[in-house]
Amino acid sequence: MSLNINTTTNGPYVSLIDSAAYTYSASHDFYNDITAGVIGGGTPPVGRIANPTGGTVAAGVFDGDNVTFTAVTTPTSIEALIIYRNNSGANTTWRLVLFENSGVTGLPVTPNGGDITVSWNASGILLI
């Protein structure tokens, strides 16, 4: 599974999550496990992380461009982010990579019809 592929059907994506509708479980492994909590983006896949880099074995850092969700109107709170690996298959084959709900600047946030931008840390998104 490569995170540094960058096409419209393959690569890393991020979803905004309402924790009132989705409860994290270590047994969840594919996108279909989280769909109840996904908000702000319409039909997946949305939230593509452009220009992803998988890092090197020595550095081990995954990074990519910030992601903007436009005109998010769902009147519920966003408390978490989930990164997943999209592919051209069904969402039962889109592997979950990261669930993040703590230490995220700007979360929780309540959508108001405006854009929501996920700005990654300058040091990278995660260590791999």
pLDDT (tens digit, 9 = 90+) per residue, 75-117?
789 999 999 998 888 999 999 999 999 878 889 999 999 999 9
Q: How many CB atoms lie within 10 A of CB 120?
A: 16
Q: What is the rounded CA–CA span in Å between residue 119 and residue 110?
A: 17
Reported pTM: 0.89
